[in-house]
Every structure is written in structure tokens, then in C-alpha cells.
Structure 1
């Protein structure tokens, strides 16, 4: 995981955990093999996906390079084994994992190195599962805020695309996309945007001013609609591939 800006989220892990929506468990189940013994997670963050894994796997090893994220996760989910690690160097023995997973994190990784490492850790037939859960396009967003968030993504690695090099020992990659909408208050929407790296790394006064203007804008839209909440589009993009050999 890249240190800039990938390691900024642990600065306020509690804010990230509260305001970044988690992928619904019923969608994530598509990624997890039945009777999953050891599940390994790359870039676990504050544990949104880890919470799903601990209910569905006999043992969970959750890894993250960010000490702030690891400290939060270890406190919140004592049943998971929380360890320092990157997607390119997992602290797991070769051929022991039934599943290796990354939720809203793969875009921070070197895809060849991460795919190679997942293949090393997985048993034959084990599953590499990758997903993202994020907001869709909406006329609710302030244009400058949307541009800022999108500009933080690596232009050479589309955020919701997952490709494995053909020479890695995996079968065909399966893909599933599910769209939905959430009802959120203006305050909740602003909270969501404070979890993006481009916003976190702004100077304090600039960040407060931008989010303040966004809140005024969203509250005005809610008044126009005569509602306390606004409809926010979300989509889940999921990929899975089985280890061959």
C-alpha cells in the first residue's frame, strides 16, 4: 500500500469507521468460499470487511501497514488476528489460506505483486476476492469536491477495475456489479467525503471551509425536496478468482 496518500486514513480511524459505509454483508458473501478456514485480508483498515469475515471464517488474519488502523481494528475486533503487512508481503504461510480478500483497497496495491502474493498464500481452489463499495455520480456533489476526490485516484489504475496478469495461477475472473441507493442526511454525506484521502490531506482551514460549503449546499437541497435525507447512489463492484494448481 502506498504511503502517500494510502497511509493517511489512520490519522482519524474513528471518523473513517463511522462515516465510510460498509459493503452489505449479503453482497460480500459472494466472495467468500463456503467452509472458509483461514481468511486473509489485505488493507483491512478499520475492519468493515473484517467484521463480515469473522462471522464466516474459522480464522481471520487482518493486515494493514497503517499503525493507526491496526490499533483501532485490534480494539474493535479482538477475535481477528491483526498484523502489520502489505498486500505485496503478507505475514501468512504459503498455501494455507482458503481466501484472500481486499475491500476498497486494491487500487493502492501493485497488482502483479499483490496477485503473486495472494497466489502464494492460497491453497489450490482458494479464492481471491476483491471488492469496492462507493458512491455513484450525483448532481448533489459540489463540482470542485468531486474533482478533488477523483484526482486523488491513480490515473493508470481505474479504481473499480481488477485485472490479474495472465501468467498468475488463477482461473477466470468473475465480476458482479450491484447498484443501490442509500438515504443519508446532509451531515452523513459530508462525513462520507471527509473519509477520502484528498480531503483528509487538505490544510485544516481549507478542509473545514470546503465541507462547510458542502453542508450548506446539501441542506438547501433537502429543504427544496422537503425531506430530511437525500438519496445517494451507491454501487458494489466485486471480483473473484480461484487459485489453480
Structure 2
């Protein structure tokens, strides 16, 4: 683990009187898209060290956010996170499948990944990545911003397209790294080559012109129409409230009948 990040997480635990049960480096570093200028995004889940804080009239904040040097750090209370997981939240899927830091509870991580694999709604995820892809493409058609902004927007559109394609083809949770998605998604070789060039340029801090970016979008935006119609074929999730409750009780060291 990066020593600086580990030290930051330990200081956050001490200052806020919490226990971090998982911490991961999200964003470009987990998508295999990092460049020399990429910031580091750290996301974590926590429980309050003193269980009475959950039983007090004045509730404690359920989000902790801060910037430290080149680190953007945000943590959510486990109750907030689990209520969103019940809805198959895409952000939390990505957090749990990103590069985790040493100190994350391994038993907790294994349980959550197993839970997501068996209970998460692939349809919800598919709809999310579809709408993100469309939204990014729409931004490009309306935006007159810099080449850098346009390139990064297309990178996100392409990543979401690959995530959506994997879901539709494999009917399973997708990997996060674009390099792995390019290997596993069945697609036209020309588009695959164009995406690889787009991603490699991002890693090297090289940005395509708006004209070139729009041409890339024209290669796959038509595929989104058929993809939208296939979303209904993705399975919906199954109820996971009981397992999430048990996991929270274990994190708080509470027996099912109370102590």
C-alpha cells in the first residue's frame, strides 16, 4: 500500500473515531487509464467506533470528505452505503471492485463481492452505463470546450459502452480495467483498435482534436439503439437485505439477538 495513503486513512480513523472496513483507489487508476497527471481518488466505508453514536438523538455525519495534496478522499458510513447497495448502486459496485488498500477487512470484502455477484441487478447497472454513455456523447455534440475535456469525455463514453457491452454479452458483472474489457468484449476489430488508441493517448496525456473525437463517437453511437432494446434481457437483482443486515451486525460486533 502507498505509505502516504495508508497514513492518511489512519489519521482519518483517529480524528473521526471510526473504523474503516474497506478502502479502495477508484477512478482512472482502477480503470487502467491513469496518466502522470492523474489525481488519486480514495473511497472508503466506515463504522463508528462507539456504537452508541448510532443510538443517539443527534445523528453523526454519514459522509467524510477531504482533499489532501493530490488525494481526493471520500468515505461513507456503512448504513448509507448499504441502503444504496440494496438498489444495486453502480458507484459502490466500482468501489468494491477497485484496487483495495491493505487494512481493508478481507472477510468483509469477500462477503460483499459474493453478495454483489449473486444479488446485484445487472439491469440497473446496464441502464446506468447506457445513460452515462449517451450523456457523455450528448455533451460532446454540444460542447465547444478544450480538446482535453473532449477527449476525457469520449474516454468515459467508450468505457461505459464497453461496460454495457460486457453486461449484455456475458450477463455477468464486468471488470473495471478497459484493457481487460477490450479483450473480453466481442466487437468490431476497427472499433476495438480505435478505443485502444483513445485510451493509450489518455494515459500519455495526449488529446485528440474535437473533429477526431466526434468521428470516434459516430462509430458506435448507432449501436446504442439496439443496446437499449436489449437492456430488458438483463436479470434484475434479488433481495439482499437480510445478508446486509447480518454483515452490519458483524461489523458492529452485535449478535442477531443483541448483546
Whether the TM-score (by the shorter chain) exceeds 0.5 is no
Instruction: Mark the structure with the bigger radius of gyration.
Output: 2
Please report the TM-score for the alignment, with normalisation by the length of structure 2.
0.26
Please report the TM-score for the alignment, with normalisation by the length of structure 1.
0.27
Higher helix share: 2
